[in-house]
Amino acid sequence: MQIEVLLGTDEIAKRVKELGEEISSDYADKDLVAVGILKGAVIFLSDLIREIAVPLEVDFMATSSYGQATKTSGVVQLLKDLDTPIAGRDILIVEDIIDSGLTLSYLSQLLLSRKPASIKTAVLLDKPDRRQTEFVPDYVGFTIPDEFVIGYGLDFSHKYRELPYIGVVRN
């Protein structure tokens, strides 16, 4: 397997800093809870919250729609729910990538039912060519082509999350 660098470490760091500044401005004087979606968003979330200059709380959810495959099954399973009550609070769902839109659409609806003050989404990568829903994220790091990517938290069969860049898998 060959990996071609799509987004380098400096490019990612610069964009994460810009997103952090934008989010900080939008959430000044709000009760922010950043919800990281495990496992893929952990690295993005960690870097992003260090760039957000407002107090926040962090919690996690875990879902699955891929299993061992490289394409979504179309069915989202909730594997881990929040530990934090979110009623009346401002929620920022942080996800590594949006492609079909099924996971973020599902999570947004689930969390809306819990009566937060607001819900927005931040994604590192947007793959609009794969969208199966009308879901549009609020904050986007990069829009990328329809290719299978790994690194910076994204995996292939639970490997390659540790790569400091985003790479495209070439056979």
Count how many residues are written for the chain.
Answer: 171
The verdict on whether 29 is a catalytic residue reads: no
Query: Would you kindly state where each structural domain of the chain is located, as residue ranges?
Result: 9-147
- Cβ–Cβ < 8 Å for 161, 155: yes
Which class is 9-147 in CATH? alpha beta
The residue from 47, 90, 96, 99 that is catalytic is: 99
Q: What is the pLDDT of residue 74?
A: 66
Amino acid letter, 141 = G
Q: Measuring CA to CA, how many Å separate 139 from each of 86, 93, 168? A: 20, 10, 22
Along the 171 residues of the chain, how does pLDDT read in single tens digits? 899 999 999 999 999 999 999 999 999 999 999 999 999 999 999 999 999 999 999 999 999 865 555 555 567 889 999 999 999 999 999 999 999 899 999 999 999 999 999 999 999 999 999 899 999 999 999 999 999 999 999 999 889 999 999 999 987
Question: What is the per-residue DSSP string for 84-149?
Answer: S--TTSEEEEEEEEESSSHHHHHHHHHHHTT--SEEEEEEEEE-GGG--S----SEEEEE--S--E
Question: Given the structure tokens 């492609």, which residue do they identify?
Answer: 99
